[in-house]
Homo-oligomer: A and B are copies of this chain.
């Protein structure tokens, strides 16, 4: 678990390093805005504690640059200037949490842990098959990274096919999974569902094995 502490005041920096270190982080220290920006942009940190008052490059600018470059690591912002405007700016710049000085070290560590915990829960629920990817957390579907709007039923169908990839799933099994077994529906309902999905996803995603059922295509095999 790596952490970067950006703080120009040596005493506070030392305290930060000690507290985060005791909490199990491997801590890098940095007291300069430009260096902080470089480190955060090139290294992989699990957490960054960022003071706003920095030499050479302001903390808010550093944060904005990171976010502009797509860096998503959790950032905990510290500031002595706890005015209303500062807060709004910090939030807009993409801070995940905010702590005004003075603060108790225990609280910072607690908040840092919460941030890391939250970040860990992100994005791990992604399943992919070919160009298709499902996010089980957000219940969303993306094709080649482009989000595709799907309904609840459509999503469940894709999820089931994803679960049974490299296998042809019979229509009866799909219907049974999508609805209660007791519910009797015409086979055409499934076909309509597949048709609607194919219209959204395009060809080469859901394949048909005539007489057997449906399956997810691997996409890399030339049609």
Residues of A near any B CB (own CB < 8 A): 82-85, 87-88, 91-92, 95-104, 106-107, 109-111, 114, 117-118, 121-128, 131, 133, 137-139, 144-145, 147, 149, 151-153, 155, 163, 165-168, 209-212, 215, 221, 223
Question: For residue A212, which residue of chain B has the nearest CB?
Answer: B139
Contact A125 B99 (CB under 8 A): yes
Chain B residues within an 8 Å CB radius of A84? 106-107, 109-110, 145
Cα distance, A114 to B102, chains bound together (Å): 10
Which among B96, B102, B144 is the interface contact of A88 at CB below 8 angstroms? B144
Q: How many copies does the complex hold?
A: 2
| Additional A-B contacts beyond A82-B114, A99-B125 (20; CB < 8 A) | A84-B110, A85-B110, A87-B110, A88-B144, A91-B126, A95-B128, A97-B126, A97-B127, A98-B128, A99-B123, A103-B123, A107-B122, A111-B125, A118-B163, A122-B166, A137-B167, A138-B168, A139-B168, A152-B212, A153-B211
> Are B88 and A145 interface neighbours, CB within 8 A?
yes
By a CB distance below 8 angstroms, the chain B residues around A127 are 96-97
Q: Are A100 and B123 neighbours in the complex by a CB distance under 8 Å? A: yes
